[in-house]
Structure 1
Amino acid sequence: MKLNVLKKLLLGVAVMYLPLQSMAWGTTGHRVCGQIAESYLTPKARKAIQAILGDESVAMASNWADFIKSDPAYSYLSSWHYIDFDKPYTYPEMQAFLLKDTSVDAYTKLNFLIGELKKKDLPQANKLLYLRMLIHIVEDVHQPMHTAHTADKGGNDIKVNWFSTPTNLHSIWDTQLIEFQQLSYTEYANAINHTTATERTEWQKAPISQWLFESSKLADNIYADAQNGENINGYKYNFKYISLLNNQLLKGGVRLAGVLNELFG
């Protein structure tokens, strides 16, 4: 009897733990991006988005695509969250690769979602699904390890220790580094959401291919700084990468606002 109870408890812990390992940016990071995006929406875009999401804010909608992974009916969405590459690319090489890309990945699905949301006669249920996915994936591709290497599943296979706790390189960038800041998503967004009009214009005019290239180059540098089995000094790692992390969260939010304003503004 006691053994059965223990098994159930362990299973419950495992079920709660596994989703955290697959969430790009983690719950807090996604909401930070969403909160930043909301601050740059035009009034027209804000009204149109509210008509689709209802009482759900962009920040809260940011997590739907991860939470729905618990429902097998939505398992087909799994590969929409990332795009991995088999080698480092120059920007022209990446542009050529993406031009021929027919895989089900973040790049092809971003283009699909944007195209669908431009349609005036799209059913409400589709609008809701596609908007939630668009919000999430724009944020996802600004997490460097979601544009990383195919061979190690975006850093998931690189096992490291974070403050002596076993984890992997992908998860450090999804959750641990963000949670280390010990801020709520609103506090975090307020702390880093300082941009100039010039920065916003420059970031928003960049095509999706440029977003992916930037993130993949950052991923290459991150790989070079962590070996499989390494005990990572969290304090040192935070000091080195916090500015990069914050900049990617900020870019993700600003670019998401740009896409939403173009679609609905």
Structure 2
Amino acid sequence: MKLNLIKRIALGLALLYLPAQAMAWGTNGHRICGQIADSYLTPKARKAIQAILGNESIAITSNWADFIKSDPKYGYLYNWHFINLEKEMTNSELQEHLKNDTTADAYTKINYLVAELKKKTTSKADRLLALRMVIHIVEDIHQPMHTGHFADKGGNDIKLTWFNNPTNLHSIWDSQLIDFQQLSYTEYVAWINHTTLAQRNEWQKAPLSQWILESNHLAAKIYAGVKDGDKVNVYRYNFDYIGTLNEQLVKGGVRLAGLLNQIFG
């Protein structure tokens, strides 16, 4: 019993120091995607989601999967947040990779979670976990560094300076670019959530593999834009990438809504 307690404490401490690769989008980024998704739900999906989440909104529940990393019993979820792709892939290369993918990663687990939510026999507790996780992971994979390289932990090992403060490439895309705009998540959504029906239809009809491919191609460009040790010109970096960042946030929300509408439609 004493040994098991020591192991649990050690695992808990290890989880606290896991690299931030599993933290795609910071708190505001996830809430932005969740709030956007909420605006495109069908009445039927909204009712079904409310029955599972109760009074908790999609925007708020979207951070649950990061918050529970402090609990060792959820350590098995760590690899679900990302999919490592060691190079910029063509569509055919990615399709071949995914066809043979048997690991616990964002691709395999989104498919698993969707299946669990569609099953009538899934328990109430498991349905809540599945919904919270699918919301979070769909948002995650629209942060390009969540299709980054295993060798550098999705950009976590690429050390940079941002306003004279030490950071890393992954963290810049998680939160620092978003925080630089100095907006609340609701203000941010009001700024960027202006899609047309044609855009939403196009983004939502794309399969999960296309979402990953897009992020993978963006990650390649992001990697090429800096090197380890760089002092980032924040204003220039913001100018170069804010459009890409905002489109990924909107796509993440729109596609999440499409997936939830399909699950609960």
Band the TM-score falls in, shorter-chain normalisation: over 0.9
In the other structure, the counterpart of 1:31 is 31
Distance 1:247 1:16 in 2: 31
Q: CA deviation at 1:35?
A: 0.1
Task: Describe the SS at the equivalent of 2:217.
Answer: helix
Residue equivalent to 2:222: 222
- Compute the TM-score of the two structures, normalised by the length of structure 2: 0.92
- The one-letter amino acid paired with 1:262 is Q
Q: Which residue of 2 aligns with 1:194?
A: 194
For 1:1-265, list aligned pairs within 5 A.
22-265=22-265
CA contact (8 A) 2:21 2:82 kept: no
**Alpha-carbon distance change, 117 to 21 in structure 1, aligned in 2, over 3 angstroms:** closer
Which sections of structure 2, spanning at least 5 residues, go unmatched?
A: 1-14
Label 1:249 to 1:201 Cα distance change in 2 as closer, same or farther (>3 A).
Answer: same
**Inter-partner Cα distance in structure 2 for 1:21 and 1:175:** 12
| Partner residue, 1:9 | none
Deviations 1:10-61 (A, max 9, x none): xxxxx99989775211000000000000000000000000000001000001
Secondary structure at 1:166's aligned position in 2?
strand
- Letter matched to residue 106 of structure 1: A
- Secondary structure of 2:45's aligned partner: helix
Q: CA deviation at 1:86?
A: 2.1
**How many equivalent pairs are there?**
251
Instruction: Tell me the TM-score normalized by structure 1.
Output: 0.92
Counterpart contact for 1:22–1:171, Cα < 8 Å: no
**Change over 3 Å in CA distance of 1:225–1:19 after alignment to 2:** closer
What is the CA deviation profile of residues 215-252 of structure 1, one whole-angstrom value per residue up to 9, with x for unaligned ones?
A: 00000000000100000011110011000000000000
Amino acid at match of 1:124: K
Alpha-carbon separation, structure 2, partners of 1:187 and 1:121: 40
How far apart, in 1, do the equivalents of 2:97 and 2:16 lie?
37
- Asked if the contact 2:82/2:140 (under 8 Å) is kept, the reply is yes
Q: Deviations over 1:169-214 (max 9, x none)?
A: 0000001111111111111011100001010000001001000000
Q: Shift of residue 80 of structure 1?
A: 0.3
Which runs of 4 or more aligned residues in structure 1 lie more than 3 Å from their structure 2 counterparts after TM superposition?
15-22
CA distance in 2, matches of 1:168, 1:71: 25
CA contact 1:148–1:219 (8 Å) conserved in 2: yes
5+ residue gaps, structure 1, are: 1-14
Could you tell me how far 1:115 is from its partner in structure 2?
0.8
The structural deviation recorded for 1:120 is: 1.1
Code of the aligned partner of 1:109: K
Cα distance in structure 1, aligned partners of 2:74 and 2:85: 24
CA contact (8 A) 2:141 2:147 kept: yes
User: What do you get for the CA RMSD once the two structures are aligned?
Assistant: 1.5
Contact 1:155 1:170 in 2 (8 A): yes
**SS at the partner of 1:161?**
strand
Q: Deviations over 1:67-96 (max 9, x none)?
A: 000101101100000001122210111011
